[in-house]
Chain A
Amino acid sequence: MSQTTRRDMLKFLGGAALASTGLLGKSAFAADKAKIVIIGGGIGGITTAKYLRMINKDVKITVVEPNSEYIFCPGSNEVLLGDPIADFIRTYDHPRKRYNFDMVADKVASIDYAKKSIKTAGGTTLPYDSLVISPGPTFVFDDIEGYSQGLAETKILHAWKAGKQTTMLRDQIRAMPQGGTMVIATPSMPFRCPPAPYERASFLAGWMEKHNPKAKIIILDKNPGFIFQIQYTKYWKDNFGFGTDKARIERISSQEGGAVAKVDAKNMTVTNAHGDTIKADVINIIPTNQPNELTVKSGLKKVDFGIEVNHHDMSIDGHPDVYLIGDSADFLVKTGYLAANQAKVVAQAIDDRLHGKSPGQPIYTNNCVAKASKDNFGMSITDTFRERDGKLLLAQTVQDPFPEEIDNPFLHHIRAAVSDNWQRSFRRAVFD
């Protein structure tokens, strides 16, 4: 076989990058290799597999994930404006080959911590030496009268996990009658991606300005305030008459009865905590986010912001070699950014333990982005979390731009471009 043909063949097999990095080689999957099982093929799960493989050629890694592809949530609000959802879809072929892990296409039914094994819905039992749980949150529907998972998949969409619902919601918005009303209802904190409901409202109000100028968005908020409130309020006042009679965005905070108590899908109405009923053409209810049912069902302890973990290495006290990361873990802020950085801490901890060392000192940053307008208003948050004695310390949180900077238009365009840049780099950091 000539050089070129061999190279082309490798490329065809998706092995070009793999062969060139020399990361993996052909590692022998001997029976005594440590078995690492990862529940969930999202940002947390794939980052764990990738970063563990980067530092350890030998372990056997298995990711259990029912879906055949992953759709990134960061960027899904742009899909509502017409960006192709294909930009946000990643298949598992590339990371699976480059980082040499197996995938089991199934849901996890139960975990047996004592026997150190998991069982899938399809009946497969997978023993593990280390288990990483990263399954995302479970959405709760029964805290709102008249709401259900079935409704959320057909008519009263949440689109809080990027996918079919995202494009369905986009189509609902496009089909709205002129001068119609859209309701976006938030759950109480903490929930996945704290600025996203407000970004969604802000993007769509901008879209409506062009396509449905008399339409209106009402945010029914189960929270008293929200992240980037100063920045969003400023942008909405400047662009959407926020706070006036003709506002394109209206927000009803929790103090004003913003929590949704009831939804009537037939008549397309929502009733808030104060008993006021609002009729709408599109109702987008973001359901309450809870730690994944698998974690609760398997007896893990729920605390304020998720399942209790030791923040030194994201392990579960009393369950040796079990780690929990992502939206289900006890972390007030639920972002993909943090899930990825938790994953890196876990990858390091697993490798340290395999080498008989105790896991090193972690740090968790969440330097994340949001936008008020797709092209010309970006924002960022800078969170730094440190750890002492297994407990998390908030060392820094800042929301940019500061009010003093908001009137500098040079920054908004750059910030929006940096936001997009972050989305692309982040997808690559996880899957490439």
Chain B
Amino acid sequence: MQKIILSGILLALLLPVHAEEENPFIEKVFVSPDTYAKDPEVSGKMLGDNCDACHGTQGRVFDEGIPALAGIPKDTFIKLMMDFKAEKKPTIIMNHVARAFTDGEISRMATYFAAQPATPWLAKKGEEK
């Protein structure tokens, strides 16, 4: 897959388009996460925070179809994410989410989520462990 590492790539999205009906949205860009392997590390928490919109604050939504992540054992999380990353089978979205992260990032995310309490974020008093 083509590797594009230009900050100017964003500009390309809005360049004047001459061809009839051409879409200014780039359909697919994928830069291997290994490209960033030597950049300063993104922390497990920062990575984990990015998952909250779907999986809940600290990965703690337990009453929805999108699964909770809090409390998943580290090895289980890593295995799941590495399988997604390797695109072993088609998924709704997770293959594409996972492949953007380095192995190290996946490991740090796993550590972060394994450390979160496996109780709903909005637990009522008495329900928290």
Contacts and interface: CB of A to CB of B under 8 A. Distances in A.
A26 interface: no
Nearest to A253: B21
* Interface size range on A against B: 35 or more
Contacts of B33: 395
A337 B50 CA distance: 9
- Chain B: interface size category: 35 or more
A19 B92 CA distance: 38
A146 to B, nearest CB: 27
A17 interface: yes
B125 A384 contact: no
Interface string B82-100: 0000000010110011011
B115 interface: no
B92 A380 contact: yes
A345 B45 CA distance: 11
A348 B46 contact: yes
Contact of B92 (A364, A395, A414): A414
B80 interface: no
B54 A426 contact: yes
Interface string A356-399: 00001111110100000000000010101010100111111111
Nearest to A311: B7
B10 A394 contact: yes
Contacts of B45: 348
Nearest to B25: A227
Most buried by B among A10, A337, A394, A411: A394
B73 interface: no
Contacts of A360: 40, 42-43, 46
B10 A392 contact: yes
A397 B66 CA distance: 21
Interface string A384-423: 1010100111111111100001000001001101100110
Contact of A421 (B29, B64, B127): B64
Contacts of A189: 14, 24
B56 interface: yes
- In this complex, which of A20, A227, A380, A398 has the most chain B Cβ atoms within 10 angstroms of its Cβ? A398
A425 B46 contact: no
A348 B31 CA distance: 26
A305 interface: yes
A363 B61 CA distance: 22
B93 A411 contact: no
B39 A361 contact: yes
Contacts of A10: 125
B97 A20 contact: no
Given A253-B21, A398-B28, A398-B96, A422 B14 contact: no
A18 to B, nearest CB: 10
Interface in A315-356: 332, 337, 340-341, 344-345, 348
Interface of A: 7, 10-11, 16-17, 19-21, 50-51, 189-190, 194, 223-227, 229-230, 253, 255, 304-305, 332, 337, 340-341, 344-345, 348, 360-365, 367, 380, 382, 384, 386, 388, 391-400, 405, 411, 414-415, 417-418, 421-422, 424-426, 428-429, 432
12 contacts: A7-B125, A16-B125, A21-B128, A225-B17, A225-B23, A305-B14, A344-B50, A365-B97, A386-B39, A395-B35, A418-B66, A421-B65
Interface of B: 4-7, 9-11, 13-14, 17, 20-31, 33, 35-36, 39-43, 45-47, 49-50, 52-57, 61, 64-66, 90, 92-93, 96-97, 99-100, 121-128
- 10 tightest A-B contacts by CB? A225-B23, A382-B96, A384-B100, A361-B40, A391-B7, A344-B49, A224-B17, A20-B125, A429-B52, A365-B50
